[in-house]
Structures are given as C-alpha cells and as structure tokens.
Amino acid sequence: MLEDKNQERTALEQLGEFGLIDHLTQNFAISRKSTLKGIGDDAAVLDFKDKKTIVTTDMLIEGVHFDLSYMPLKHLGYKAVMANLSDVYAMNATATQIAVSVAVSNRFPLEALEELYAGIALACQIFKIDLIGGDTTSSTTGMLISITALGEADEAEIVYRSGAKPNDLLVVSGDIGGAYMGLQVLEREKEVFKVNPNTQPDLSPYSYIVERQLKPEARKDIVELLKKLEVQPTAMIDVSDGLSSEILHLCKNSAVGCNLFEEKIPLDPTVISACEEFKMDSTLVALSGGEDYELLFTIDQKDFDKIKGNPNMTIIGHMTEESEGAHLVTRGNTKIPLTAQGWNSFGKE
Ligand SMILES: [Mg+2]
C-alpha cells in the first residue's frame, strides 16, 4: 500500500551476480581499524588485537518476519541491521562489522535491492559499522535476508544473561510495546486498503508507534551511557520478543526469581491510547509484544544512585531467590506468575 508504482525496473539478470554485488556495495566505505580487508577478496580479514570478538547472526524471511505491503525496503534494510546490532549491544560490546546475504526472486528489480541497501548503508553510517561481505542469490519465492554482525569488547566488559543476583535491580531502557502497536495499526490499514485501494491511510496520529515498528533504533547509546555512568550491568538481554520472555531468560540463565511491577513498566502515551482503541491490555502488550529492541538489564543496588532519575532507563523490578519464582506484581498488588506469553492469568505455577 505504500509502494511507489511508478519506479523504474531494471532486471537483475542484466548485471550478473558479481556485477550486482559490486553495484550494491560500491558506496560502502571502511571506517574501522579492525577491518583489514572488507569486500573484494575471497574472505574478509579482521584484527581485534587483545579484544574479544562477539558474533551473532539472524535470518529474516518475507511473509514470516516482514510484510513488504507496508514495510518500505529501505526501512527493512535498516531494521534488519538494527536487529543484529541490538544483540551485540546486549553483550555490552561495540558493534563493528556486518556481513549481509540476500536471496530474491525475479519479482524484485535492481531498484528494489538498491532501496534495501540504502537502508543498510544508512545503518552502517549512523552506527559506524563496516559492511565486510555477504552474498546475493536467487530465491524461487520472496525475499530472504541473513545478517551476521560482529563486535568487540574487553573480556571484563562483556555482560552475559547469567550474572543477575537476588536483590539486583531490573532496568529497561526506553519504552515498551510501541513496535507491537505500530504493527497493529499497519495490519489494520492493510485490511482497509485491500477493501478500498484508493484510500491513503492517515498514520499521523500513530507516527511514534509506526516508527517504532518500521524504524527501530538499537540502543548503542545506552551501552555508552552505562559506561559513562560507570555502571556494569550484572546481566543483560535485548527486548526482541516480549518483556516477559526476556525476563524469564535472565531468571533462568542467572538462576534467580524476579518481581516485576506492573505500574513501573514504561509505556508511551501513544501506546496507551492505541491499546484503548484496539481494546488491548497495555500490560499484556508490553509483556508479550516484541521488536522494541530496548535493553533489559540488572544492576547491583550499589549502582542505584548512578541511574536514579535518568530519563533513558526505568527500574521496573528486582531479582529474588530462584525459589520465589518470577512474578508480575499488579497495580492491585496481586502477584501473578510470569509466563513467556505474558502472564498466567489462572495463577498456576
Ligand atoms: Mg537477543
């Protein structure tokens, strides 16, 4: 529905595989000292000296992870990079390079891939990442994107999911649930468009949540802020699924329990009003939505003063002994067991 129907179409066959890679990657510059050789040989060569190397990979499939009827290709390229960088930042590391592989059917002209790579290039530029390789190939149906991200960190800086202790504070960056409610708005407009293709949706009242869905930002700034504040999280994960499943990962990997306070969960006013409009429970949306790419971490109580009142992060709970389990403490002060789907409304443990 957001597609530009008048764009030019150059068939990919006209360039050939190597011509295509050269064309798509010609404007990517190398900015990292650790990149000794990027694109242009059989493999890239990296040198992280005395740092540890962080590696993560992620695959996105059209129709499963993204819908091109409302996802502009430039945004898709940007978001695909963000999803990977977010995992590097969740290790408290610096993201440094990416390799991008794309498979497309002949439905996509060269101009479509140029748009996708424009989004990837923008992400590389803003986050100071080098594109060091990848592959393009054909697919029988649809588009597939696989990205591998690399990063570096001193061994002592790396934060795992496993370091949380009872009484540690549970903290989340930014706000939660926006990407999921943005998706609800886009899905609804897609249905309206199917019935009447002449309507142009007015998304302006939803710009914040639609942007959270289409153009998320990995929280490099939070990793830098924590370093500046001299706070080393004890455990960390990024919020790519819902808040509750990420909390349960921290609990399981750290062998602790948790009390999450419903009233503390940071929600943007647009998320609250969209939840009212869609008759959805905003707490359930925050717990079970996804794709917010915020950072969820635990800190020692001695660091409380360093982050207290900081507008970029919110203390939403604290960790407990493992035997106490993981719970949501509601506004009515009832304790409900957390489940990966949000909460267990039947109260069974
Ligand atoms: Mg993750």
pLDDT digits (tens, 9 = 90+) for 206-236: 999 999 999 999 999 999 999 999 999 999 9
Backbone angles phi, psi at 319, to 5 degrees: -90, 155
The pLDDT-based confidence of 40 (bands split at 50, 70, 90) is confident
pLDDT band at residue 340 using 50, 70 and 90 as cut-offs: confident
Is residue 142, in this structure, part of any structural domain at all? yes
In a domain, 6, yes or no: no
Do 103 and 225 lie in one domain? The reply is no
Comparing 253 with 9, which gets the higher pLDDT? Answer: 253
**pLDDT of the residue at 348:** 42
Binding residues for substrate: 65, 291, 343
Nearest alpha carbon to residue 108 among 8, 214, 1:
8
Are 19 and 118 part of one and the same domain? yes
CATH of residue 249: 3.90.650.10
**8 C-alpha to center of ligand 1: Å?**
37
Q: How far is the CA of 219 from the centre of ligand 1 (A)?
A: 12
Return binding residues.
42, 56-58, 65, 87, 117, 134-135, 161, 238, 240-241, 291, 343
Structural domain span for residue 247? 169-343
Least confident of 16-20, 280-284, 339-343: 339-343
Asked if the model's pLDDT at residue 289 lies above 70, the reply is yes
Q: Which of 157, 188, 217 is the endpoint of a domain?
A: 157
> Between these two residues, 5 and 303, which has the higher pLDDT value?
303
Residue 162 belongs to some domain of the structure: no
Residues near ion ligand 1 (CB < 5 Å) are 87, 238
Q: How confident is the model at residue 346 (pLDDT cuts 50, 70, 90)?
A: low
Query: Which of 41-45, 66-70, 89-93, 140-144 ranks highest by mean pLDDT?
Result: 89-93
Check if the beta carbon of residue 26 is closer than 8 Å to that of residue 40. Answer: no
The answer to whether residues 174 and 86 belong to one domain is: no
Query: Do residues 173 and 150 both lie within one domain?
Result: no
The stretch 147-172 carries a mean pLDDT of 98
Q: What is the CATH number of the domain that holds 89?
A: 3.30.1330.10
Asked if pLDDT for residue 349 goes beyond 80, the answer is: no
State residue 347's pLDDT score.
Answer: 45
Q: Of 244, 324, 338, 328, nearest to 292 (Cα)?
A: 244
Å from CA of 233 to ligand 1 middle? 16
Residue 214 within any structural domain of the chain: yes
Question: Same domain for 153 and 184?
Answer: no
Domain assignment of residue 77, yes or no: yes
Span 63-100, pLDDT tens digits: 999 999 999 999 999 999 999 999 999 999 999 999 99
Residues 193 and 319 in one domain: yes
- The CA distance from 4 to 8, in Å, is 10
pLDDT exceeds cutoff 80 at 4? no
Where a domain ends, among 133, 157, 181? 157
Report the percent of the chain where pLDDT is more than 70: 96
Q: For the chain, how many structural domains are there in total?
A: 2
SS3 labels along the chain: CCCCCCCCCCCHHHCHHHHHHHHHHCCCCCCCCCEEECCCCCCCEECCCCCEEEEEEEEEEECCCECCCCCCHHHHHHHHHHHHHHHHHCCCCEEEEEEEEEEECCCCCHHHHHHHHHHHHHHHHHHCCEEEEEEEEECCCCEEEEEEEEEEECHHHCCCCCCCCCCCEEEEECCCCHHHHHHHHHHHHHHHHHHCCCCCCCCHHHHHHHHHHHCCCCCHHHHHHHHHCCCCCCEEEEECCCHHHHHHHHHHHHCEEEEEEHHHCCCCHHHHHHHHHCCCCHHHHHHHCCCCCEEEEEECHHHHHHHCCCCCEEEEEEEEEHHHCEEEECCCCCEEEEECCEECCCCCC
The answer to whether position 1 is within a domain reads no
Please indicate, yes or no, whether residues 275 and 200 belong to a single structural domain of this protein: yes
Residue 316 · residue 175 · CB < 8 Å: no
Distance of CA 252 from the midpoint of ligand 1 (Å): 15
The mean pLDDT value of the chain amounts to 93
Same domain, 179 and 250: yes
Binding residues for ATP: 117, 134-135, 161, 240
Q: Is residue 349 part of a domain?
A: no
Q: Are residue 150 and residue 213 in the same domain, yes or no?
A: no
Q: Report pLDDT for 342.
A: 66
Q: Based on the domain organization, do 283 and 221 belong to the same domain? A: yes
Task: Say what the pLDDT of residue 198 is.
Answer: 83
CA of 14 relative to ligand 1 center, distance in Å: 39
- Binding-site entries for Mg(2+): 42, 56-58, 87, 135, 238, 241
* Ligand 1 centroid, distance to 23 Cα (angstroms): 32
Distance between CA atoms of residues 30 and 9, nearest Å:
30
pLDDT score recorded for residue 332: 95
Distance 343 CA to ligand 1 centre (A): 21
- Same domain, yes or no, for 264 and 338? yes
Give 168 Cα–ligand 1 centroid separation in angstroms.
21
- State the helix-helix crossing angle for 110-127 and 16-25, rounded to 10 degrees: 40
The average pLDDT across 269-284 equals: 96
Residues 192 and 330 both lie in one domain: yes
Decide if 297 is inside a domain. yes
CA 173 to ligand 1 center in whole angstroms:
14
Q: Which of 125, 157, 189 is the last residue of a domain?
A: 157
